[in-house]
């Protein structure tokens, strides 16, 4: 009596290994950018809760860049021009950080990641 074998062939295993390797390589390239974004968010929350009463935009930018340095965020990732403060009609100030990160993948393929975060500032910000 013949029994039918079941399982993955060598070629099937190589195809599965190729797909898993491709997505693993993609994750190795993208995960550091998202961890860095987590550091930006943590620094923004730290600056927002520390109180900004009477501080100017430049002082808040310097404090945020110093906090991002503690969070291992690269200086080339967030430029001072990427940090803005907006004020709504109710007088609430929002700290905004918008930046793009270009992650080289392979050959001429890159990932362009856009990050945007806003947090509410406590206290009045001077102009």
Question: 23-38, pLDDT tens digit by residue?
Answer: 999 999 999 999 999 9
- In the predicted model, is pLDDT for residue 114 greater than 90? yes
pLDDT at site 124: 67
Q: How far does CA 35 lie from the centroid of its chain?
A: 6
Which segment, 2-6, 63-67, 110-114, is predicted with the most confidence on average? 110-114
Residues 104-114 have a mean pLDDT of 93
* Interval 46-72 mean pLDDT: 84
Query: Is-contact 47 122, C-beta < 8 A?
Result: no
Distance CA 31, CA 7 (A): 33
Q: What is the pLDDT of residue 1?
A: 66
- Residue 115 is predicted with a pLDDT of 95
What residue ranges do the domains of the chain occupy? 11-120
The pTM (predicted TM-score) of the whole model is: 0.80
């Amino acid at each position: 009596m013949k029994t039918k074998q079941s399982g993955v062939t060598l070629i099937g295993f190589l195809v599965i290994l190729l797909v898993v390797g491709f997505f693993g390589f993609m994750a190795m390239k993208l995960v550091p950018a998202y961890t860095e974004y987590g550091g930006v968010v943590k620094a923004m929350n730290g600056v927002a809760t520390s109180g900004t009463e009477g501080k100017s935009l430049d002082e808040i930018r310097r404090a945020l860049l110093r906090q991002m340095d503690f969070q291992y965020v690269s200086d080339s990732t967030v430029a001072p021009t990427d940090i803005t403060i907006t004020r709504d009609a109710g007088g609430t100030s929002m700290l905004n950080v918008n930046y793009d990160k270009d992650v080289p993948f392979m050959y001429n393929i890159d990932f362009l990641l856009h990050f945007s975060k806003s947090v509410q500032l406590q206290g009045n910000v001077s102009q």
